């Protein structure tokens, strides 16, 4: 027995901000959930099961917060799951929720992912000093910047490519009312003029720290008939490798390459750049756009930056990337992956508003964990998959 | 010698919680010396109010002031209190249904022994001396004195609604290193950099691992590594941040020690930051021996050896 | 639905593990044991899923390093839940049901002794008005036990009977860390601890890891002559609030049980970390006097956090493999006072 068809008929997200001091954790989640349910034309009572995702519990200082949130999320008396797979969690959570429908276990599943970073300090939570271990001496970007340098060396990319990505995503965010950053007038020049934090990464090339949530309603074929514009799931994939291993390729990780290959195969895609109309890729630091373009197979190894430099990842390009403004414009960590998955669904539903890519029929949602070791991806389409 | 190294560690943070309107209304009430419940769609008065109704799922909007006197519906004795509980001497936790409420509230009950508690006993709120909009504004419950029927309400202590609360989470752990890590840290305490070779893939890991991440086999054969190595890649830290120990700019680099198959992250000093290169040869510079501990910090930093740079091909598989 | 069976189970339990909080050192030999049970290598495993908690380990992303124990070159199809092993198994069961994979290995780890467990678990509570009081797990269980005693639903003797049977049965379980029954009278003569609970009413703080192997159809038959087929699996959650719940009940456990066919269950492994909770569960699941409860000794004999529920599944499966029983039940719980519950049935024949 193969997978049952499944579709996204509701997408909701919060207005992402540095501090959402107006809401509790439950209130933040419900803001996204209520929007997703309205979009799906369903109520919480129609939902069979709920899947919650978020990044480390130390961020909000609550162990397994889905337990205290159960009633507010409408999960009381229903099955509730909690996924945590590092930075890829928003994507993995959506995949677990889809599997509930694809396995034929449930018909209408609600999934929500959130982070309320303002309750603590992510830098602290990620680097609690442990005995014997040397304290982190490089700060947040210090982990990523050396790998970006490796990419630049290996690909011989011109050093302004990162700034092109940042300027594009920040301008795309101006078309997304939910985005955290709405920085008018960002240009390649202004990004290049911003402070060099972790050479080669500049201030304007880094993601913000956000409070926010994202929710999706994923349903079976029968329920999807009631939606005017379901986004059908054409493929889902998760792959993991070690965070540190001898001779691990940290620029173009094998787990990402394997995941992409499996995903394209499942979705029946032979030429991703020709067949994908919009991609929402997890890019927390600008340079990860060209790196992931290669890892995903949109470009040959060492060639990803050429697509970016030629403007092919802009909304009007061959492969529009992060029309929503992406992680560079909003980063509620646990929700960031689900936002990529949800924005991909919005594109193929023709519901992305001002940042809609005309006529998008197939889109990619992509998420990865901070050490480039965990990957989660899906392809959604306007048409029901034939396989 | 114990099998592994271990040491205490405290994980502590003052979380700044935004409460939203419903929990905020409850905490505002406590600050003002009143206990506020929320009415559900089925008419029940719940304390503290539920943020969202269990039936309609709508946000709670109807609030009801209840009495600060109530009845114990269950209790348990706490013979050995843990850190940060309301009392550091034995006490009871109790579920108390306040007059005017339909369901109980959990809080401490101050009595000297379990013999002084019964289900059904009447108790009242003992307010904290200072009230700030926190659950601890209720210091505890205490038995109602014979003949007493109402607790006197204290004066309100503020006028702005409470929108946030700071909660300290401080946890004490005993942290242990794995046996393989313990070998590494013990070596550092003797001025040596110890790795181990994986018997399956033959790669030399530093620090050694309980499971080789490639094949799941514990690393076994001990290998003392060279004190010199090659910078594979690096970043220049220009930004000041919390807890930083060195004035920027400085370089954080992956150093592939000669004989190792995986790089370690460390500091590069003794050379201007803008002169550090991929492929640069560096050597460990140790702190004075009397400062050594079981830590990679015994190596103060790595500094250039002055040798010619390594060819890109010799380290490109480590990027 | 595809036919899926439990075909492998391994565990390690101890009062205090002296190694790392990610327990990689314990997972490696457990995986080795499972490869021996199944005749597989890691490449034969289609999907991996783990359960653990960062707050138990005292650090973020504690599960990330545990993946090393698998050996992840080439990369693996893998996921993680911040839940007990039983729910990791549920995610793997789903994955097999989608047809994407035929086999899965699920594992969990927890070093409960690294912190003060009953205090750490106060972080599971509502963070605005409950956690700041640090109500520890034992106190919450005590409040629950008292409600049932006051209501006349059970008494201290009934609780002691549960303990005596568990610790007597635990003598036959090499993994139990507390064992040795005596008599109900002797147990009742011991001093009260957290009135109404005595120490033996509470599960011992336990470190450990456990893992289960799932396989579909013929893959399962290749591994075992008598696979433990998962003929039903269901889980639900209740609200957390201690005030809004009837603490003498566990509606989520009742609902999970009611979703399955429990007729003919011979053995039930119930995850009851406190003695009175077994009494609640027996009632909610409608288990009669003819059902053998917790022949392993149950959670009162050892309860490694995040493995404790999954171990019940493993113990129930073991009794199918051996032919001791034709139908068994396993239950797992999570959250304060039986808030979240999973029930599954295992059968030798389908």
Q: Is the domain of C51 the same as that of C19?
A: yes
Sketch the domain layout of chain B as residue ranges: 6-170, 177-225, 227-319
pLDDT value for A274 = 98
pLDDT value for A387 = 60
Option in B52, B254, B278 nearest A72 (CB): B52
Look up the CATH number of the domain holding residue C110.
Answer: 3.40.47.10
Number of domain units in chain C: 2
Asked whether C154 and C282 are in contact (CB, 8 A), the reply is no
Q: Which residues of chain C have pLDDT under 70?
A: none
Residue A359: phi and psi, rounded to 5, are: 70, 25
Beta-bridged to residue B234, according to DSSP, are B253
Asked if A139 lies within 8 A of B253 by C-beta distance, the reply is no
**B5–C contact, CB cutoff 8 A:** no
Asked if A24 lies within 8 A of B239 by C-beta distance, the reply is no
Which residue, chain included where needed, has tokens 């040869």? B281
The Cβ of residue B175 has, within 10 Å, a number of other Cβ atoms equal to 23
Q: Is the domain of C109 the same as that of C131?
A: no
Supply the range of the domain harboring residue A81: 6-120+209-224
Distance from CA of B18 to the nearest CA of A (A): 5
Alpha carbon separation from A167 to A177, A322, B200 (Å, rounded): 17, 12, 47
Q: Is the domain of C235 the same as that of C320?
A: yes
Q: Is the domain of C71 the same as that of C123?
A: no
Contacting residues of C for B104, CB less than 8 Å apart:
242-243
Helices C85-97 and A89-102 cross at an angle (nearest 10°) of 60
Mean pLDDT to the nearest integer, B79-88: 98
Domain assignment present for residue A375? The answer is no
DSSP assignment of C244-313, as one string? TS-TT--HHHHHHHHTS--TT--EEE---SBHHHHHHHHHHTT--TTSEE-TT--TTT-EETTTHHHHHH
Residue B152 banded pLDDT, cuts 50, 70, 90: low
Look at residues B196, B192, B194, B226 and name the one whose alpha carbon lies nearest to residue B211: B196
Cα–Cα distance between C96 and C66 in angstroms, integer?
23
Cα–Cα distance between A30 and A119 in angstroms, integer?
18
Option in A65, A71, A238 nearest C239 (CB): A71
Q: Is the domain of C179 the same as that of C235?
A: yes
Distance from CA of A134 to the nearest CA of B (A): 6
Decide: helix, strand or coil at residue C51.
Answer: strand
Question: Which residues, 6 or more positions from A248, have their beta carbon under 8 angstroms from its beta carbon?
Answer: A241, A242, A254, B213
Supply the range of the domain harboring residue C245: 117-203+231-347
Q: Is the domain of C176 the same as that of C258?
A: yes
Q: What is the 3-state secondary structure (H, E, C) of chain A?
A: CCCCCEEEEEEEECCCECCCCCCCHHHHHHHHHHHHHHHHCCCHHHCCEEEEECCCHHHCCCCCCHHHHCCCCCCCCCCEEEECECECHHHHHHHHHHHHHHCCCCCEEEEEEEEEHHHCCHHHHHCCCCCCCCCCCCCHHHCCHHHHHHHHHHHCCCCCHHHHHHHHHHHHHCCCCCCCCCCCCCCHHHHHHCCEEEECEEHHHECCCCEEEEEEEEEEHHHHCCCCCCEEEEEEEEEECCCCCCCCCCCCCHHHHHHHHHHHHHCCCCCHHHHCCEEECCCCECCHHHHHHHHCCCCCCCCHHHHHHCCCCCCCCCCCECCCCHHHHCCCHHHHHHHHHHHHHHHHCCCCHHHCCCCCCEEEEEEECCCCCEEEEEEEECCCCCC
- For residue C253, cis peptide bond before it (omega within 30 degrees of 0): no
Which residue, chain included where needed, has tokens 């070779």? B197
Domain assignment present for residue A91? The answer is yes
Question: Which residues, 6 or more positions from A228, have their beta carbon under 8 angstroms from its beta carbon?
Answer: none
Instruction: Decide if the complex's ipTM is over 0.90.
Output: yes
Question: Which residues, 6 or more positions from C225, have their beta carbon under 8 angstroms from its beta carbon?
Answer: none
- Degrees (nearest 5) of the Cα angle C88, C94, C95? 90
Q: Return the residue in A3, A49, A58, A63 with the most chain C beta carbons within 10 A, the one to mutate for interface testing.
A: A63
- Degrees (nearest 5) of the Cα angle A66, B63, B61? 60
Q: Is the domain of C209 the same as that of C106?
A: yes
Domain assignment present for residue A37? The answer is yes
Mean per-residue pLDDT of chain B: 95
Contacting residues of C for B175, CB less than 8 Å apart:
21, 58, 114
Q: Is the domain of C59 the same as that of C131?
A: no
Look up the CATH number of the domain holding residue A46.
Answer: 3.40.47.10
Q: Is the domain of C106 the same as that of C210?
A: yes
Q: Is the domain of C197 the same as that of C328?
A: yes
Residue-wise pLDDT tens for chain A (387 aa)?
589 999 999 999 999 999 999 999 999 999 999 999 999 999 999 999 999 999 999 999 999 999 999 999 999 999 999 999 989 999 999 999 999 999 999 999 999 999 999 999 887 887 777 888 887 677 767 888 999 999 999 999 999 999 999 999 999 999 999 999 999 999 999 999 999 999 999 999 999 999 999 999 999 999 999 999 999 999 999 999 999 999 999 999 999 999 999 999 999 999 999 999 999 999 999 999 999 999 999 999 999 999 999 999 999 999 999 999 999 999 999 999 999 999 999 999 999 999 999 999 999 999 999 789 999 999 999 999 986
- By C-alpha distance, the chain A residue nearest B182 is A132
**C235–A contact, CB cutoff 8 A:** yes
Q: Is the domain of C36 the same as that of C149?
A: no
């Amino acid at each position: 027995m193969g997978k049952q068809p499944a579709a996204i008929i509701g997408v909701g997200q919060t207005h992402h901000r540095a501090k959402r001091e107006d809401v509790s954790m439950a209130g933040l989640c419900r803001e996204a959930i209520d929007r997703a349910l309205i979009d799906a034309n369903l109520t919480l009572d129609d939902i069979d099961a709920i899947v919650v995702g978020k990044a480390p519990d130390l961020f909000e200082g609550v162990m397994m917060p889905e337990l205290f949130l159960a009633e507010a999320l409408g999960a009381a008396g229903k099955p509730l799951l909690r996924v945590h797979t590092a930075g890829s969690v928003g994507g993995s959570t959506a995949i677990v929720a889809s599997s509930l429908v694809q396995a034929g276990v449930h018909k209408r599943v609600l999934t929500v992912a959130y982070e309320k970073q303002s309750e603590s300090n992510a830098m602290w939570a990620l680097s609690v000093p442990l005995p014997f271990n040397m304290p982190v001496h490089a700060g947040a970007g210090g982990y990523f910047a050396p790998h970006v340098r490796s990419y630049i060396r290996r690909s011989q990319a011109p050093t302004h490519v990162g700034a092109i990505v940042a300027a594009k995503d920040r301008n795309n965010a101006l078309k997304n009312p939910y985005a955290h950053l709405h920085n008018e007038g960002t240009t390649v020049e202004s990004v290049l003029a911003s402070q060099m934090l972790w050479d080669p990464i500049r201030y304007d090339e880094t993601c913000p720290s956000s409070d926010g949530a994202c929710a999706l309603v994923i349903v079976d074929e029968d329920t999807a008939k009631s939606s005017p514009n379901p986004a059908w799931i054409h493929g889902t994939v998760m792959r993991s490798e070690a965070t540190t291993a001898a001779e691990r390729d940290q620029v173009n990780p094998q787990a990402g390459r394997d995941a992409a290959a499996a995903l394209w195969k499942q979705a029946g895609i032979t030429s991703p750049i020709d067949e994908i109309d919009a991609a929402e890729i997890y890019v927390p630091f600008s340079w990860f756009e060209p790196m992931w373009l290669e890892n995903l197979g949109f470009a040959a190894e060492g060639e990803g930056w050429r697509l970016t430099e030629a403007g092919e990842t802009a909304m009007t390009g061959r492969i529009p990337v992060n029309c929503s403004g992406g992680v560079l414009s909003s980063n509620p960590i646990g929700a960031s992956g689900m936002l990529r998955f949800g924005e991909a669904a919005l594109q193929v539903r023709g519901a992305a508003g001002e940042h809609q890519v005309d006529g998008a029929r197939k889109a990619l949602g992509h998420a990865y964990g901070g050490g480039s070791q965990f990957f989660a991806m899906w392809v959604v389409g306007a048409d029901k998959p034939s396989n | 010698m114990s099998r592994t190294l271990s040491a205490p560690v405290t994980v502590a943070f003052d979380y700044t919680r935004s409460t939203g309107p419903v929990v905020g209304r409850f905490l505002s009430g406590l600050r003002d010396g009143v206990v506020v419940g929320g009415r559900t769609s089925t008419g029940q008065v719940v304390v503290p109010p539920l943020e969202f109704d269990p039936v309609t799922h709508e946000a709670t909007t109807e609030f009801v002031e209840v009495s600060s006197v109530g009845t114990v519906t269950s209790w348990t004795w706490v013979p050995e209190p843990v850190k940060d509980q309301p009392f550091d001497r034995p006490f009871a936790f109790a579920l108390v249904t306040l007059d005017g409420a339909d369901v109980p509230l959990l809080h401490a009950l101050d009595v000297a022994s379990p013999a002084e508690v019964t289900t059904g006993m009447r108790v009242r709120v003992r307010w904290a001396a200072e009230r700030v909009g926190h659950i601890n504004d209720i210091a505890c419950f205490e038995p109602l004195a014979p003949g007493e029927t109402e607790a006197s309400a204290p004066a309100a202590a503020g006028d702005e609604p409470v929108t946030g609360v700071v909660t300290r989470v401080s946890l004490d752990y005993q942290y242990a290193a794995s046996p393989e890590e313990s070998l590494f840290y013990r070596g550092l305490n003797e001025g040596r950099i110890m790795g181990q070779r994986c018997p399956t893939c033959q790669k030399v890991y530093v620090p050694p691992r309980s499971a080789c991440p490639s094949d799941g086999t514990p690393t076994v054969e001990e290998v003392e590594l060279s004190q010199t190595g090659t910078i594979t890649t690096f970043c220049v830290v220009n930004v000041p941040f919390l807890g930083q120990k060195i004035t920027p700019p400085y370089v954080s680099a992956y150093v592939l020690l000669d004989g190792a198959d995986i790089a370690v992250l460390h500091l590069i000093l003794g050379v201007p930051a803008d002169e550090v290169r991929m492929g640069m040869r560096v050597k460990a510079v140790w702190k004075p021996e009397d400062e050594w501990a079981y830590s990679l910090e015994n190596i103060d930093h790595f500094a250039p050896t002055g040798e010619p740079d390594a060819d890109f091909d010799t380290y490109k598989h480590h990027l | 639905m595809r036919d899926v069976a439990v075909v492998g189970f391994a565990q390690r339990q101890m009062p205090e593990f002296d190694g790392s909080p990610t327990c990689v050192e314990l997972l490696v030999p457990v995986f080795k044991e499972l490869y021996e049970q199944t005749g597989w290598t890691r490449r034969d495993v289609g999907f991996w899923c783990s359960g653990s908690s960062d707050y138990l380990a005292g650090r973020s992303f504690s599960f990330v390093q545990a993946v090393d124990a698998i050996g992840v070159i080439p990369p693996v199809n893998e996921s993680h839940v911040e839940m007990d092993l039983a729910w990791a198994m549920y995610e793997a069961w789903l994955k097999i049901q989608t047809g994407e994979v035929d086999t899965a290995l699920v594992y969990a780890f927890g070093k409960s002794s690294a912190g003060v467990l009953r205090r750490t678990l106060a972080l599971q509570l509502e963070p605005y008005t409950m956690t700041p009081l640090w109500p520890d797990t034992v106190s919450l269980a005590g409040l629950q036990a008292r409600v049932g005693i006051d209501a006349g639903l059970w008494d201290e003797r009934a609780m002691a009977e549960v303990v005596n049977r568990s610790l007597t049965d635990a003598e036959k379980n090499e993994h139990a860390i507390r064992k040795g029954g005596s008599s109900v009278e002797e147990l009742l003569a011991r001093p009260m601890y957290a009135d109404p609970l005595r120490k033996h009413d509470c599960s011992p703080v336990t470190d450990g890891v456990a893992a289960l192997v799932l396989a579909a159809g013929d893959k399962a038959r290749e591994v075992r002559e008598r696979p433990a087929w998962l003929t039903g699996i269901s889980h639900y959650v209740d609200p957390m609030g201690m005030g809004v719940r009837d603490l003498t009940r566990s509606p989520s456990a009742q609902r999970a049980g009611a979703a399955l066919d429990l007729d003919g269950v011979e053995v039930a492994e119930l995850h009851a970390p406190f003695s009175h909770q077994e009494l609640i569960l027996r009632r909610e699941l409608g288990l009669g006097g003819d059902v053998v409860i917790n022949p392993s000794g149950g959670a009162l004999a050892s309860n490694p956090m995040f493995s404790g529920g999954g171990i019940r599944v493993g113990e129930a499966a073991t009794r199918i493999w051996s032919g001791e029983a034709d139908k068994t039940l396993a239950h797992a719980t999570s959250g304060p006072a039986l808030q979240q519950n999973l029930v599954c049935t295992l059968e030798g024949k389908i």
